[in-house]
């Protein structure tokens, strides 16, 4: 580390890091479960893909717009319980109700009723998950000032995230088991179990974690001024570009790959398709978790910036070989991509997320505020606007491809369109993300100097928090 770095940066006990990380299970269950809405409401309830895409887009768009306001409110909130915990408590309980309740639309309802029910649930769902995730992240950013320990915190979060991803990867397959009497009844039982797990894990950070900066930002900062100061930081703008373009093609890919897998690779066999998805998810999780203990060491050896560049390059390479691996001749060949790239991409994503608290430090140095929730909210806002557009785009792409949700076998023209719409955007946007990753300016030496200046400033001020 640079000689100008602080001798001993603050770090919370490891036990508190793991207790905080437990809340990731609630966070991930909320959003990962909601990812099943498109295929289940489309092929299970029979809701039109375009109508469904609008029902998912509009709530997410509203949630994205309100995120910065909620984040700014959290940063400036003063209660006896802190800035984050009141939000975590309420959204944990509400999130559990919504995870269980969203599947209780009736397949016999008119499609307009299904649409209305889904859009109301989705609006509450997105705003609840968005607030929980934002404040949970913000609480985690306070756990350490150390440049490399921040990678450890994000690695701990990713351990819990991967566990949920592994479980949810089998959810659709499990919902189709005969014991449930149909996938709709199956997902209702599974949703009820997930609701209980959300309550148990979501309350752990509320009860077990201490807020370090509970009494900072004594003067309320107007939202527009806060946002302007945040986006004025050049490193943050570049960071947003990397995340935006990394996600764009991937979101489209993840939404349409179910259809490519089911109707092109598996010839309409939904059971085989969901089984392969489950195996692929498990493989990705196992390989990713195998490398997570080494993330702090990799951070010290490579640095977060270089790791993000490498991750974007690997994602681009993976995108280029994907069209060759999704083939009816060998449905399981697609697992090769996960085996080859999952560990390295996992490392890059963890270290990318660990950059946000560095940007919060830069903001404190330049503007004198601790705004972890605001930065998380702006990242979330950009992502949700992007995903909202992608969801609607996917709905129209499915319609343009002439996909028929009532047919088990699709025409060759439909399958060709689906493959183009799945793979081409992912390749293009991965390349753009790599371009911006190379331009990211923040290095370990730069952050060491930021930390030194902050320590000097803090030492001259009365203690807070």
Per-residue pLDDT tens digits of the chain, which is 465 residues long: 344 444 567 788 889 999 999 999 999 998 877 777 877 888 778 888 778 878 877 887 787 788 888 888 887 777 778 788 899 999 999 999 998 888 888 888 888 888 888 888 888 988 898 899 989 998 988 888 888 888 889 889 988 988 888 788 788 888 888 888 888 888 889 889 999 999 999 999 999 888 876 555 555 667 788 888 888 898 999 999 998 898 887 888 877 888 888 889 888 887 888 888 778 878 888 888 888 888 888 888 888 888 889 888 988 988 898 888 888 999 999 888 778 777 777 888 888 888 888 998 899 888 888 888 888 888 888 887 887 778 778 878 888 888 887 777 888 888 898 888 888 888 999 999 999 999 988 888 888 898 888 888 877 765 544
Contact in structure between 379 and 231 (CB atoms under 8 Å): no
Q: How many Å apart are CA 272 and CA 274, to the nearest integer? A: 6
Q: How many Å apart are CA 443 and CA 440, to the nearest integer? A: 9
Contact in structure between 99 and 192 (CB atoms under 8 Å): no
**If DSSP codes are grouped into helix, strand and coil, which group holds residue 191?**
helix
Contact in structure between 197 and 95 (CB atoms under 8 Å): no
369-380: b or e for each residue (b if 16 or more CB lie within 10 Å)?
A: bbbbbbbbbbbb
**If DSSP codes are grouped into helix, strand and coil, which group holds residue 462?**
coil
CA distance readout (Å), 443 to 3, 221, 239, 244, 245: 14, 29, 13, 21, 21
Q: Which of 63, 57, 28 is nearest to 381 (CA)?
A: 63
For domain 14-212+223-451, which architecture applies?
Up-down Bundle (1.20)
CB atoms within 10 A of CB 315: 25
- Write down the residue that tokens 């557009």 correspond to: 389
What is residue 240's predicted lDDT score, i.e. its pLDDT?
Answer: 92
What's the chain's Rg over C-alpha atoms? Answer: 22
What is residue 93's predicted lDDT score, i.e. its pLDDT?
Answer: 95
Query: H or E stretch including 430?
Result: helix 412-438
Instruction: Check the CA dihedral 437-440-442-445 and report its sign.
Output: positive
267-303: b or e for each residue (b if 16 or more CB lie within 10 Å)?
A: eebbebbbbbbbbbbbbbbebbbebbeebbebbeebb
Q: How many Å apart are CA 236 and CA 232, to the nearest integer? A: 8
The answer for 464, left when phi > 0, alpha when psi is -120 to 50, beta otherwise, is: beta
Q: How many Å apart are CA 246 and CA 67, to the nearest integer? A: 21
- Residue partners of 252: CB distance under 8 A and separation at least 6: 390, 393, 394, 397, 421, 422, 425, 426
Contact in structure between 25 and 194 (CB atoms under 8 Å): no
- Write down the residue that tokens 């701990």 correspond to: 156
- Write down the residue that tokens 């109301």 correspond to: 120
């Amino acid at each position: 580390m640079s000689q100008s770095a602080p001798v001993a940066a603050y770090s919370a006990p490891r036990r508190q890091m793991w207790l905080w990380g437990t809340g990731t299970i609630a966070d991930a269950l909320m959003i990962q479960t909601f990812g099943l809405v498109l295929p289940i409401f489309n092929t299970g309830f029979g809701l039109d893909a375009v109508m469904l895409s609008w029902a998912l887009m509009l709530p997410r768009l509203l949630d994205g717009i309100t995120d910065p306001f909620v984040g700014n409110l959290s940063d400036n909130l003063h209660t006896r319980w802190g800035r984050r915990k009141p939000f975590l408590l309420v959204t944990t309980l509400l999130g559990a109700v919504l995870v269980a309740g969203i599947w209780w639309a009736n397949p016999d309802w008119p499609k307009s009723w299904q649409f209305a029910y889904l859009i109301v649930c989705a609006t509450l769902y997105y705003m609840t998950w968005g607030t929980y995730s934002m404040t949970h992240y913000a609480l985690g950013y306070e756990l350490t000032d150390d440049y490399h320990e921040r990678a450890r915190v994000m690695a701990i979060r990713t351990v819990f995230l991967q566990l949920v991803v592994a479980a949810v990867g089998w959810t659709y397959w499990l919902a189709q088991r005969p014991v449930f009497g149909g996938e709709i009844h199956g997902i209702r039982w599974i949703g009820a179990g997930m609701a209980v797990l959300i309550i148990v894990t979501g309350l752990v950070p509320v009860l077990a974690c201490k807020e370090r900066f509970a009494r900072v930002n004594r003067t309320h900062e107007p939202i527009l001024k806060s946002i302007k100061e945040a986006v004025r930081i050049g490193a943050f703008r570049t960071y947003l570009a990397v995340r935006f373009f990394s996600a764009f093609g991937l979101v489209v890919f993840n939404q349409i790959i179910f259809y490519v897998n089911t109707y092109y690779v598996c010839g309409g066999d939904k059971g085989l398709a969901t089984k392969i998805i489950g195996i692929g998810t498990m493989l990705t999780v196992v390989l990713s978790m195998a490398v997570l203990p080494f993330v702090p060491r990799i951070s010290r050896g490579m640095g977060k910036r270089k790791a993000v560049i490498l991750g974007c390059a690997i994602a681009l390479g993976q995108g280029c070989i994907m069209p060759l691996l999704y083939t009816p001749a060998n449905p399981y060949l697609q697992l090769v991509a996960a085996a080859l790239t999952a560990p390295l991409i996992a490392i890059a994503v963890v270290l990318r997320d660990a950059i946000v608290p560095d940007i919060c430090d830069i903001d404190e140095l330049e503007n004198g505020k601790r705004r972890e929730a605001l930065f998380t909210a702006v990242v979330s806002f950009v992502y949700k606007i992007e995903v909202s557009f992608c969801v609607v785009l996917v709905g129209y792409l499915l319609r343009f491809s002439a996909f028929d949700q009532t047919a088990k076998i699709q025409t060759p023209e439909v399958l060709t369109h689906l493959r183009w719409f799945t793979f081409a955007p992912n390749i293009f946007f991965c390349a753009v993300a790599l371009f911006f990753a190379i331009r990211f300016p923040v290095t370990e030496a730069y952050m060491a100097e930021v930390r030194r200046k902050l320590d000097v400033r803090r030492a001259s001020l009365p203690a807070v928090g």
